[in-house]
Structure 1
Amino acid sequence: MKRLVMILLMGVMVLTTVLTGCSSSEGSSSTTNGSDGEEVYTIRVAYVVAETHASHIVLQDIFKKELEATGKFNVELYPNGQLGGDRQAIEAVGLGSLEMTMAGEASISGFVPEFELVGLPYIFNSLDAAHDALDGDFGKNLDELLEAQNMYNLGWGDVGFRNITNSTKEIKSPSDMKGIKIRTMETPTHLTYFSALGANPTPMAFNELFTALQQGTVDAQENPSALIYNSKFYEVQSFMTVSEHVFTAAPILISKDFMDNLPQDLQDKVSEVAEKTKKAQRELLLQQNTDFELEIANEGVKVTKLSDEEKEKFKKVAIEQVYPGVVEQYGEELIQLAQKYNE
C-alpha cells in the first residue's frame, strides 16, 4: 500500500510539474492571442484510453474540431496515459493545472467517495437504465458533490459493462473465481465483491496491466469489451466471460477554475460541444463493445456468455455481501435513486 501511495504521489508531482509549465500563474489554462488579437484558450485533455477507443475518436472529431472552429480554443489531446493515469489526471484537474480529463468514475471515487455507487455490482439492469439514472437525479446529485473538488462534470460518457478475462479457465459460476488473482479498480465495493467471490483482487494502475498479465503477476482482469480489445489483452488472456457485473461511466471533467474564468458565451459553447461529444461517444462505444466482443473471439479467446440464471448467482453474492456495507456507509437514498430507473 505504501508503494502504491508513493507511486501515485510521484505521478501527480510529475504530471503537475509538466502541466504547470503550460499554465498561467492562476492555475487556469494558458492563453495566446489569435490573429484578431483576441485571446485563444488552450484546453488540454488527458485520458488513458488508446486512439482507437470511442472516447478519443469523438474528442478528436467533435470536441476538438468544433471548439477550434470557433477560433477561440486550442484543444490538445493526450491519450494512452501520456500524462499519467486517471487518478493523476483527476488530481491535476482539481488543482487547476490540467483543464480536462475523461476518467472512470471508480477513480473519481478517490476524491468523491459517492461516485463508487455508479459501479456498485448490478446496480443497473440495462444500459438505458444507467443512462437515465446518470442523466437524471442520481447523476445530478453526484455532480453537485464534484464541484467541491473544483471540477464540473460536462457529461456522463460511457466505458460500458465490464466483463472478466483470464488466462486460467472458463468462468461460469462464482465458485470458478476461487483463487484467481484478478486486477480490479481500487474501490472498496469492487475489492469486497471479488473477495466475496473467492478471488484475490489486486488493484494496480491501468497502464501497468498488460505487462502484469503478460508476466503472470495477475491471472485476470475485468473491463468492457472495447477496452479489452483496444488494449490487446486478448494477446495475454485465453478466456472471457460476458458477466456485465459492473457498469462503468466516463465523466467529462473540466477544471472549475478554468470554466468559471471563460466568458459566458464560451462557457456555453464548451457545454454545448461537450454534450454533443457525450452523445456521440455513447453511440460509438455501444457499437465498439458489440463489435469487439466478436473480434476478441476471432483472436482465439474462448468467450462465454452468462445466462440470466448464471448472472443471478453472481448478483446474489453482491446483494448479500456487498450491498449491506454500502448501505451502512452511504444510506439507501442514493442507491434507491439509481435503482428506480431499472423499473
Structure 2
Amino acid sequence: TAIGRRGMARWNQMLAERTEGRLQVRMYWGGSMGDERTMVRRMRIGSLDAASLTSTGLSVIYRPVLVMQVPGIFSSYAQVDAVRREIGPELARALEGEGYGLLGWGDAGRVRLFSQEPIRRPTDLRRMRPWVPRTDAVFRQMLSVVGANGVPLGVGEVFGGLRTGMIDAAPGTALAVAGLQWFTSLQYATAQSDGFLVGGMVIRQSFLDQLSAADRAALFEIAAANHERFLQQTRRADERAFTALTRHGIQPVDVEPHRAEWQSVADQTRQRLAGRVFPRELLRRVEAIAERAR
C-alpha cells in the first residue's frame, strides 16, 4: 500500500542514519513471496529475514496467537490495544522461543464479510461459497458452527475465484478488498464488524544474532516507533476505504437485527477452539480484558 511504502522509506532513512548504512530493509510487496505459510517457510530456510504477518500467519509459528483473531470479542480498537498491552509481551516471548523476534504488533482494519448476495444472518452463509484462507483455523471453525462449506484458496487465488464463481463471499478488511481489487466482483458488505485483522512483523533470531548490540537496539527502537505511526495511519485508511467502497457500489448490510445469532456463533466458535488451538485460560483472560476496555 502507499502507506506501507512511505512508512518503509521513512524506516530505512532512520535506519541508515542510526547504523551508518549498515542496515536497510528491502520489502517485497503484493504477495510476491507467496502466502503466509510460504513466507514462514522461507524464513525458516533463511531466504527471507522477516515478514509482516496476520495472526493466521503468526499461528504457523506459535498457534495460540490465533486468540487475537477469534470473533465476538473485539468491537473497538481500544479493546484490541488493551489486550495487546497485557497479552502481547507473553506472545512475543513465545514467538522468541520459536526463533523469531517481534519487531512490532499491527492491525489492518475491521474484518467484514464481503459478498455477491446480502449476508444478514449466519445461516445465509449456508447457501454461499465463502473463501477460507488456507491457514485460517478460526473462520473454518466458524463456518463449521454455522453448517456452511468454505472454499480454501490462497490470497492470490481470490480475485480469480470471485470472477469465475468458484467463491461468492470473502472475509476481509476494506483496505484489502480495495487494494486487491476484489470489490470489482462484490456487491455487499456487512455494515458491522466484531473483529479486526491483527498481526505483527517478525524477524529471524538467527539474523538478529549476526547484528551488533547497537544495531539490534536501533532496529527494534525504530521498528517500534514506526509501527505505532503505521498503526494509526492504517486504522484511518481502513475507515476511508470502506467509505470509498460504498461510493463505488458496495452496499452495507445491517446485521444488527440478528446480533444474537452472530454472537451465538462467535461464542461457539471460541469454545470449540479453546483447549485445542489456544489454552482455555488464555481465552478467558483475553475476554476479561476486552470486557473491561469496552
Structure 2 letter corresponding to 1:116 = L
Match of residue 93 from structure 1: 43
Q: Give CA deviations for 1:103-157 in whole Å, capped at 9, x if unaligned.
A: 1111221231111111111232321111221232x12222122123311111111
Q: Give CA deviations for 1:175-204 in whole Å, capped at 9, x if unaligned.
A: 222221111223322201023223322221
1:340 alignment partner, one of 278, 288, 292: 288
Which one has a larger percent helix, Structure 1 or Structure 2?
2
Q: Quick check: 1:112 aligned with 2:65?
A: no
Q: Distance in 1 between matches of 2:8 and 2:28?
A: 10
CA contact (8 A) 1:93 1:253 kept: no
How far residue 206 of structure 1 moved from its aligned partner, in angstroms, is 0.7
| Structure 2: stretches of 5+ with no match in the other structure | none
> % of aligned pairs identical?
18
How far residue 286 of structure 1 moved from its aligned partner, in angstroms, is 0.9
Runs of 4+ in 1 over 3 A off after TM superposition: 54-57, 309-312
- Residue correspondences, number: 287
> Whose relative contact order is higher, 1 or 2, with alpha carbons under 8 Å and at least 6 apart?
2
How far residue 294 of structure 1 moved from its aligned partner, in angstroms, is 0.8
Match of residue 119 from structure 2: 171
Q: Which entry has the higher C-alpha Rg, 1 or 2? A: 1
CA contact (8 A) 1:130 1:341 kept: no
Q: Give CA deviations for 1:24-55 in whole Å, capped at 9, x if unaligned.
A: xxxxxxxxxxxxxxxxxxxxxxxxxxx33x44
Match of residue 242 from structure 2: 293
Q: Quick check: 1:184 aligned with 2:132?
A: yes
Q: Quick check: 1:270 aligned with 2:219?
A: yes
Calculate the aligned-residue CA RMSD, in Å: 1.8
CA contact (8 A) 1:94 1:149 kept: no
CA contact (8 A) 1:213 1:236 kept: yes
Structure 2 letter corresponding to 1:179 = R
SS at 1:325's partner residue?
Answer: helix
Structure 2 letter corresponding to 1:183 = W
Q: Distance in 2 between matches of 1:311 and 1:63?
A: 42
1:310 alignment partner, one of 255, 258, 264: 258
How far residue 305 of structure 1 moved from its aligned partner, in angstroms, is 4.1
Q: Give CA deviations for 1:67-86 in whole Å, capped at 9, x if unaligned.
A: 12332223211101122222
Match of residue 97 from structure 2: 148
SS at 2:150's partner residue?
Answer: strand
Equivalent residue runs for 1:198-217 within 5 Å? 198-217=147-166
Q: Quick check: 1:322 aligned with 2:272?
A: no
Match of residue 229 from structure 2: 280
1:63 alignment partner, one of 11, 17, 24: 11
Query: 1:312 and 1:65, CA in 2 relative to 1: closer, same or farther beyond 3 A?
Result: farther
**Greater CA drift, 95-104 or 68-77:** 68-77
Q: Structure 1-normalised TM-score?
A: 0.79
Match of residue 71 from structure 2: 121
SS at 2:27's partner residue?
Answer: strand
Structure 2 letter corresponding to 1:139 = G
Q: Structure 2-normalised TM-score?
A: 0.91
Query: 1:94 and 1:246, CA in 2 relative to 1: closer, same or farther beyond 3 A?
Result: farther
Equivalent residue runs for 1:212-223 within 5 Å? 212-223=161-172
